[in-house]
Amino acid sequence: MNKEDKTFEKSAVFIDWYAQNLRKLPWRETKDPYFIWISEIILQQTRVIQGMKYYIRFIKCFPNVEILAKASREEVLKLWQGLGYYSRARNLHEAAKEIMTRFGGRFPQKYEDILSLKGIGCYTAAAIASIAWNQPYPVIDGNVFRVLGRLFAVETPTDTAEGKKLYSELAHRIMNPEQAGLHNQAVMEFGALQCVPQNPDCSRCPLQHQCRGYAGGKPQQYPVRHRKAKTRDRYFHFMYITYNNVYTYLCRRNEKDIWNGLFEFPMIETAQPADFDELKETDEFKRLFPPDSHAVFTLDKSGVRHILTHQVLHATFYRVEIRMESEALKDCLRISLQEMSDYPVPRLIHRYLSDVM
């Protein structure tokens, strides 16, 4: 560690920049670990502008950990609807229950205890511990990877064990432990507003003359990533069924797959794209719609693409009118059409319903 690092000069630069450029956000006006936790979970995979309204609604409905723990899973998922990555909401709910049972309803203060909660990793635990109690745990997220990668021209890929270790050492090296919470917020904000992924304005960067990436003339090549995640295509055929123009059907997804705990229309997944004639030949179609159901089908929407992490969903929606309820449909939840908005559904289905209702 050199003299510059010992005096935490870089940390002071980040903090000075932050004082002049920080965005006024509601979770920055509190040291309450519960509110900090909620904001950090919401902002994972979510932009601040979108996350703000969800944060405000969420803490209004669940103002403390006890109320969140007592809520039903459906209530939590419904409030989360539209944010995506629903495992965050499920884990949040489970962690609230853990806090009530394991910690007597008090948010744990020790880093190790925070880390032990469902859905909380090193980054979130460090954010909570540092911001709420000024504990010296540096945060390392995508923004911080980018800032450190450029500042030190790190050639080691971020998605390797060696890279993670190196970035952790660098993050600890530049942190002033006496201002841990402020430092973490400053570095994250710096990455979000100044050291942006594309076309960073290096001419206005206060660390320009210390940045090795800038000195090398190619700051945008950092951080280096080793592997590119593969994506797979999936083909979903949704059946929006109406029975006597009064009822429709929903199925809850409970398997270990996307959208666990959410409701969807009865759906047939095929390995390849399939038109209606091909769909009719599948066993699931025949199970849902035997001849005595007298089903009438209308192709409502096709070619809908919905992109998830490592997956691309290709969705087709059929509107189906039936005269007789099949045995397979009795395994689904039959609800009145007016009740549809009471159930948490994936964003893909929410958007469809917004278009047709």
**Other Cβ atoms within 10 Å of 331 Cβ, number:** 12
Span 352-357, average pLDDT: 83
pLDDT at 267 over 80: yes
Q: What is the pLDDT of residues 72-81, one digit of tens each?
A: 999 999 999 9
- At residue 4 the predicted structure's pLDDT band, cuts being 50, 70 and 90, is very low
CA 314 to chain centre: 21
CA–CA distance, 124 with 172 (Å, rounded to integer): 16
- At residue 3 the predicted structure's pLDDT band, cuts being 50, 70 and 90, is very low
Span 140-149, average pLDDT: 95
Assess contact for 102 and 94: CB atoms under 8 A: no
**What is the structure's pLDDT at 232?**
93
pLDDT at 2 over 60: no
**What is the structure's pLDDT at 294?**
87
**What is the structure's pLDDT at 129?**
98
Determine which one of 4, 29, 40, 75 is catalytic: 40
Q: What is the pLDDT of residues 54-65, one digit of tens each?
A: 999 999 999 999
pTM of the model: 0.83
Span 22-44, average pLDDT: 95
Q: What is the pLDDT of residues 79-114, one digit of tens each?
A: 999 888 899 999 999 999 999 999 999 999 999 999
Q: What angle do CA 73, 53, 340 make, to 5 degrees?
A: 45
- Annotated catalytic, 321? no
